[in-house]
Amino acid sequence: MLHKCNPFIPIYQTAKERLEAANINTGDGVTYIVLNPQLQLIVESGADKRRCNLPTSNEVAMIIGDEYAESGFRDIILASRGNNNESRFFTINANHASYMPLYYVLFFPKGKSGYHWGLQLVDNSGQRKNTCLVHRAFYHYRLHPRVGESDILFCGQQLWQQYLVDAWAVCHQNKLQWLRHHQANI
């Protein structure tokens, strides 16, 4: 289904394709994805499966340390489909309209854009001075079921919880970043 309706599939390589290409290049056919101490998923060839297993738990938590305070630590790195098996890499940060559809492909199979800075509030009365839509208001709207809209987000179980935590982190990190850069205005 994703190959038919997702606009990103023809442009970017999938994780499965990247892993298959890594297996072909190394020749051993054994690739593992491990979680390193910096909480990053790393693809290792021939690694011991019993070392650094991915965490399993029914609880939801997010740890954002000081080392992640710089912008860009949550970026997605995409590999484009290139000619002659050459791929170019692109970085998409958490404020990009395609961040959530690329990160949560199962929730947004058609690649519908998420929050972006150009979104405006619709105000028919003309009373509102600021019509810019902020992250928090966007997610407040998205996090409630609507008649006529798909309820796929609410059926996601643990992935839904991860989406909620991710949305919360994006909102609060943008707020903290604004405070950091506007100290003179406060």
Tell me if 27 is assigned to some domain.
yes
When pLDDT is averaged across residues 31-53 and rounded to a whole number, the result is: 62
Residue 11 belongs to domain spanning: 1-35+66-182
- Going by pLDDT thresholds of 50, 70 and 90, the confidence category of residue 134 is confident
Residue whose token pair is 């970043």: 177
In this structure, are residues 63 and 39 in contact, taking their beta carbons and an 8 Å threshold?
yes
Q: What pLDDT score does 110 carry? A: 87
Three-state DSSP at 33 gives strand
Q: pLDDT, tens digit, for every residue of 54-78? A: 566 777 777 776 655 566 667 888 8
Average pLDDT over residues 129-133: 74
Q: How many domains does the chain have?
A: 1
Q: What angle do CA 131, 137, 143 make, to 5 degrees?
A: 145
For residue 90, tell me if it sits in a domain. yes
Q: Are 78 and 92 in contact (CB under 8 A)?
A: yes
Q: Between the CA of residue 65 and those of 38, 52, 71, what are the distances in Å? A: 10, 20, 13
Whether 148 shows a pLDDT value over 60: the answer reads: yes
**Domain assignment present for 52:** no
Q: How large is the average pLDDT for residues 5-12?
A: 84
> Is residue 135 included in any domain, yes or no?
yes
Q: Token digits for 126?
A: 């003309």
Residue 57 within any structural domain of the chain: no
pLDDT at residue 27 above 80?
no
132 band by pLDDT with thresholds 50, 70 and 90: confident
DSSP per-residue string spanning 100-134:
HHHH-TTT-TT------TT-B---TTS--S--BPP
- What pLDDT was estimated at residue 7? 85
Residue 3 has pLDDT above 60, yes or no: yes
- DSSP state letters, 52-116: SPPP--S-------GGG-STTTT-EEEEB--GGG---EEEE-TTSTTHHHHH-TTT-TT------
Q: Check residue 75 and give its pLDDT.
A: 80
Q: Residue 45 domain-assigned?
A: no
pLDDT surpassing 80 at residue 18: no
Residue 41 within a domain: no
Give the pLDDT confidence of 92-122 residue by residue, as tens digits: 888 888 888 888 888 888 888 888 777 877 7
- Quick one: tokens of 10? 């023809």
